[in-house]
Chains A and B, each alone.
Chain A
Amino acid sequence: MKSREEIFDTVRCALVELFELEAPAIVPGARFDDDLEIDSIDAVDLIEHLSRSFGRKVSPRDFRSVRTVQDLIDAIDRLQER
């Protein structure tokens, strides 16, 4: 189990590494499509990367309603409780 802060750090590092984004731009309220320019294809790459970092297999289905960084953290948090 990781705390929400740890999840946020992992997500931020993934975004910096995969998409060459600036770390300060990645805040909980940032929207993937408008603020971070991450589209549905990028989301597939991101989810695959995160599922490796968290060491569990996830389905992209669990992330379809994700719009912001906060949504993603919530979704990961829910998955690790399962």
Chain B
Amino acid sequence: MTRGRVTKLHEDVSDLLDSLAESPPVKRTDQYWLRLPATGICFLVFGVAGFLLGIFVLPVIRLFSFDRLRGQRMARAVVGGGLRGFVMFMRSVGVLRYEFVGRAKLGRPGQIVVANHPTLIDVVFLLGFTPHATCIVKAGLFTNLITRGAVNAAGYIPNAPADEMIHAAQRALEEGESLVIFPEGSRTVPGQPMQMQRGAANLALRGARVLTPVFITCDPPTLSKNLPWYRIPPRRPTFTLRAGDDIDLETYRHAPLPIASRRLNSDLAGLFAGQLQCETTALNSRAQ
């Protein structure tokens, strides 16, 4: 026990020393000392607003909507509006800039929207700007005190157990909803290639009419996996969301589903890797 703790301490200290040794003196710009507390305030606002919506507003909608679908639609409008408001708030307090290209391509009936997942708040943009869409979210959000009211009322789909997720999402697509999914399942580990799970490809081939990729980049990186909120970047980050061209699913549908979904998944992985590499290269050349 004690030895474990000493080892942990030792690791922490050597991590700290490594980071001091490694990090070149990056200049902190764009009002770093204002962005730091503003970031904290954003987290607080999200938590308080999410919690209040979940216990006051959304249950009232539920109570007064006589059929499930109408209630869900209203709840999604409220949640989407809240998320859009939150994006505006984050921009107005100066913690980020954003650009959303091709937004009009999103939200069509039976559309599966597939996005990469570099940061904690990707879903805030996607659901904020595609308010009628449903989304596959981490099952933990259904027990989290802040998010459970919203995800329940909006009828989002938990990512586990796998069989229930597949069937609920397939039904949603067949009923003409649009569905947002992050095939990596969790945020990209910085510096590692994307790990695409096959669930998104499988779902697309089961029930979607059209698949639209959304490429998300964040420069400089922030709110990535394994990074606490207060490690904000030296410059104000810019989020770029770019909706790509639709992918024709029919060409994949001749093979048995498991084989077809492996093919589609590997094509998607290639598409995202290529596109994101191009965008990063473009950013780097602009910075020089």
Contacts and interface: CB of A to CB of B under 8 A. Distances in A.
B199 interface: yes
A13 to B, nearest CB: 12
Contacts of B42: none
B259 A19 contact: yes
B161 interface: yes
Contact of B198 (A20, A42, A46, A61): A42
Contact of A41 (B162, B256, B259): B162
B22 interface: no
Interface in A20-61: 20, 39-47, 60-61
Contact of A40 (B162, B256, B259, B261): B162
B114 to A, nearest CB: 15
A60 B259 contact: no
A44 B198 contact: no
A42 B161 contact: no
A64 interface: yes
Given A18-B257, A18-B259, A41 B161 contact: no
B256 A43 contact: no
B163 A45 contact: no
B166 interface: yes
Q: Is the interface of B mostly helix, strand, loop or mixed?
A: helix
Contacts of A17: 256
A23 to B, nearest CB: 16
A34 B259 CA distance: 18
B186 interface: no
B166 A20 contact: no
Contacts of A64: 161
B51 to A, nearest CB: 32
B162 A45 contact: no
A61 to B, nearest CB: 8
Interface of A: 17-20, 39-47, 60-61, 64
Given A42-B258, A45-B256, 5 more contacts: A18-B256, A18-B257, A19-B258, A40-B163, A60-B164
In the complex, the 10 A-B pairs of residues with the closest C-beta atoms, listed nearest first: A60-B163, A40-B162, A18-B258, A41-B199, A44-B163, A45-B258, A18-B256, A44-B166, A45-B257, A41-B202
17 contacts: A18-B256, A40-B161, A40-B162, A40-B163, A41-B162, A41-B261, A42-B198, A43-B163, A44-B163, A44-B167, A44-B202, A45-B257, A45-B258, A46-B258, A60-B163, A61-B163, A64-B161
